[in-house]
Amino acid sequence: MKRKLVMIGNGMAGVRCMEEILKRNREAFEITIIGDEPHPNYNRIMLSNVLQGKTEMKDINMNEWDWYKNNQITLYTDEKVIEIVPEKKEIKTDKGKRIDYDELIIATGSSAFILPIQGHQLEGVIGFRTIQDTEYMIETAKQYKKAVVIGGGLLGLEAARGLIDRGMDVYVVHLLPSLMEQQLDATAAKMLKKDLEAQGMKFLMEKQTTEIHGDGRVEGITFSDGTSIECDLVVMAVGIRPNIDLAKNAGLNINRGIIVNDFMQTSIPTIYAVGECSEHNGITYGLVAPLYEQGIALADHITEIKTNGYRGSILSTQLKVAGCDLFSGGQIHEDDDTQAIIVQDQFAGLYKKVLVKDNKVVGVVLYGDSSDGTRLFSMLKKGTDISAFTSAAVLQKAGEDAVGEMIAEMSAEETVCGCNGVTKGTIVQAILEQELNTYEEVKTCTKAGASCGKCRGVVEGILAHTLGDSFDAAAEKTGMCVCTTFTRDEVVAEIKAKGLQTPKEVRNVLGFINEEGCPTCRPALNYYMRMLRPEEYEDDKASRFVNERMEGNIQKDGTFSVIPRMYGGTTTGEELIRLGEVAKKYNVPLVKITGASRVGLYGVKKEDVPQVWEELGMRSGYAYSKSLRNVKSCVGSRFCRFGTQDALGLGIKLEKAIEMVDTPHKMKMGVSGCPRNCAEALTKDFGVICVENGFQLYLGGNGGTEVRECDSFITVKTEEEVVAMAKAYTQYYRETGIYNERTAPWIERIGAENIKEVLLNEKMSTELAASFDKAKNTYEEAWSNALHNKQKKDMFEIIKK
């Protein structure tokens, strides 16, 4: 006969415990669960992602209604247990139900601690623990704009980020001088604060709130120093309190939480407590990983599997805020018994600290790049002897794959996905039994990576380790690069929808595997950000290829070409003299007229390139860039007896109008003065053939390894129309092209007729041209500023002399 197992609480820890019980013995219990929220079990730690707009409420359910039904679990939701009667082995609910049990699990969790100060009961003062809290904040943000979050810990910062994403002006009030003082040392906390301030978050540090004031609804808060600020919403994130009233009234032993032993038994052996409401060896836990470990220990015991029980947890923390990549675990601060391995790169915003005691890792703090977090934390938990490791690479064995080595050494019981409590053994078993081959399949089957996604790299490593030679890494690559499954269009859409401001923020929010990016996505994201936000986004030179950083094409011997702009192939005697003098001074081995009718200096040493550009004093010809390279033109009607229009003059106009602005790939244009097409305009990205009655325009040609003749587009009457259409065309290519995609395959992908339809729509074409001009202004401004700074520097040097 089945025993009656009743659980009070329908949260993460309790339901995970039920899942583990069902795995061990599906026939042992008749299960009833009572939850006071009107929802099935959901992932509470993903509420910050919902608030930040990264996901929706419907996507954070962990166990849908059918799961309870399929597992023959009786579920009562939106119902509260009001009394436990141990002597009768019975519970009572607020809806009049009396339910008897053989074993009872209390999984009542915790509640947000609300500071008991004057005004805390006003409308607009809430905690951040439930779906209802999250929905309230989302709705409030639609009506009001000023918010205060009290508490600079993990939850407070995630709430603040979400409210900013919802359009609110947010202050974080913190009692202490450092943020997340329980998880970060002073250096990492300072870096975090700086990054969050750059995102628009404002801080009031070392401030104690003494009063919340308002007439019915919150209007502001006052501090102990007498200062105050106005606000429409106050979010309390100052800690949690275990929900223990039921246990206390039932006569169970309590302290801060419900006191339990290693098998999660309370002072009454048939009553258990698990999760945030329990206290084990004097410790209550608020993070999900230890709560899952408790659930596993309880499941083993209640199904009569002999184990050592639960022995406590070492905690680790990650922050779910875009653009702030951090990990901490174990001991945070040095003491007399520890030694610290510290790596800090202030320029890149990276900080890594590993605390060591007796040749073992006892603490980890990572900021800016947490990719080593899982590996180092695994070493910490295992007590790995680090004698064989080199600290220069933050404890890696020279010549070995650190992640592969870590995965090989992981035990089956080790947790890979902390959000959902998925172990390595569960993943390996699923891969083998379900014949899984990709990360997406593993995620769907096991839930590993289904929440924050930060464990993706380890999950894929387990796939590779388990499948060996049969693992096909290419099968994962469905997105813009190996770091993500998001396509180019999806990435751009997410940037627009979520208001993402930097490539790092994009990678964090969208869960890229490599949070620092790869050689494919780093330059691509830099391009997309500058294309989408020309006036706000500052170009990241470090994400550009070496050619663009050096402003010259690298040659086979490691030297560079320096090719200045010569509009239409024209130059002056003064420029030619300067080119000759520079070539002679720097022993340039080759001076050549290029195929684009410019003078190129080839073989310039890398260290000489900046000085060569400075002494030439000429604008770059962008012969190395993903932008307009040149406009090839014939002399046209100025000299040629066949010329119908001034092809040279129009070519120069086009070049000046379109130059400098980044595009998905290089662009070349051509203007021929007559249908004889001496400028080869019909194999250019944008071609113009001059005729008696105007200018024939052509799109999407390519004269490279795969020749593509242009598509005929339209005939226009004036040079101004040619330039306007070239701007609209280039901007549409900028907005819809995939980074590194030439116009020829772009036209094939988008469709020539679709592109023509857009460009022939006067309103759309005008808007595209205006957007191009807006972007062009930012490039011109940057160039002018650089020139101005150089002139100031030159003047300073003259004054010094």
Residue 799 has pLDDT above 50, yes or no: no
Please report the pLDDT score of residue 390 as a whole number.
57
The rounded distance, in Å, linking the Cα atoms of 530 and 537 is 6
Backbone φ/ψ region at 369: left (φ over 0), alpha (ψ -120 to 50), beta: beta
Q: Kindly report, residue by residue over 561-572, the tens digit of the pLDDT.
A: 899 988 888 889
Average pLDDT estimate for 162-180: 93
Select the more confidently predicted residue: 108 or 708: 108
> How many alpha carbons fall within 13 Å on the CB side of residue 278?
33
Q: Cα 723–622–348 angle (5° rounding)?
A: 120
What burial class does residue 535 get, using C-beta atoms within 10 Å of its C-beta: 0-12 exposed, 13-18 middle, 19+ buried?
Answer: exposed
Residue 772 has pLDDT above 50, yes or no: yes
The rounded distance, in Å, linking the Cα atoms of 380 and 552 is 48
Tell me what percent of the residues of the chain surpass a pLDDT of 90: 52
Instruction: Enter the pTM of the model.
Output: 0.59
Please report the pLDDT score of residue 125 as a whole number.
96
- Sequence-distant (6+) residues with CB within 8 A of 1 are none
Q: Kindly report, residue by residue over 416-425, the tens digit of the pLDDT.
A: 887 777 888 8
Q: Which of 373-382, 463-472, 505-514 has the lowest average pLDDT?
A: 463-472
Residue 786 has pLDDT above 70, yes or no: no
Q: Return binding residues.
A: 634, 640, 674, 678
Average pLDDT estimate for 425-429: 87
Average pLDDT estimate for 756-763: 92
DSSP state of 670: E
Please report the pLDDT score of residue 237 as a whole number.
93
Question: Which residue blocks in 3-153 are alpha helix, DSSP H?
Answer: 12-24, 47-51, 65-70, 131-143
Q: Return binding residues for siroheme.
A: 678
The amino acid at residue 685 is: D
Cα distances (Å, whole numbers) of residue 332 to 365, 576, 632, 691: 7, 63, 63, 75
The rounded distance, in Å, linking the Cα atoms of 758 and 347 is 43
Domains and CATH numbers, the chain: 3-109+242-302 (3.50.50.60), 125-238 (3.50.50.60), 488-544 (no CATH), 545-625 (3.90.480.10), 631-801 (3.30.413.10)
Residue 399 has pLDDT above 50, yes or no: no
- Residue 401: pLDDT band with limits 50, 70, 90: very low
Residue 143 has pLDDT above 50, yes or no: yes
- Sequence-distant (6+) residues with CB within 8 A of 684 are 632, 668, 669, 670, 698, 701, 703, 710
Q: Cα 601–603–608 angle (5° rounding)?
A: 85
Residue 789 has pLDDT above 70, yes or no: no
- Residue 780: pLDDT band with limits 50, 70, 90: confident
To the nearest whole number, what is the mean pLDDT of the chain?
A: 87
Q: Return binding residues for [4Fe-4S] cluster.
A: 634, 640, 674, 678
Please report the pLDDT score of residue 798 as a whole number.
43
Residue 549 has pLDDT above 60, yes or no: yes
Sign of CA dihedral 698, 703, 704, 706: positive
Q: Kindly report, residue by residue over 25-57, the tens digit of the pLDDT.
A: 999 999 999 999 999 999 888 888 889 877 788
- Of 365-369, 506-510, 726-730, where does the model show the most confidence? 726-730
The amino acid at residue 39 is: H
Average pLDDT estimate for 650-664: 93
Please report the pLDDT score of residue 800 as a whole number.
44
- Sequence-distant (6+) residues with CB within 8 A of 797 are none
573-585 and 609-616 are packed helices; what angle lies between their axes, rounded to 10 degrees? 150
- Of 369-383, 436-450, 464-478, 769-783, where does the model show the most confidence? 769-783
How many residues does this entry show for the chain? Answer: 801
Select the more confidently predicted residue: 349 or 202: 202
Tell me what percent of the residues of the chain surpass a pLDDT of 70: 93
The alpha carbon torsion through 8, 13, 19, 22 (nearest 10 deg) reads -50
Residue 403 has pLDDT above 90, yes or no: no
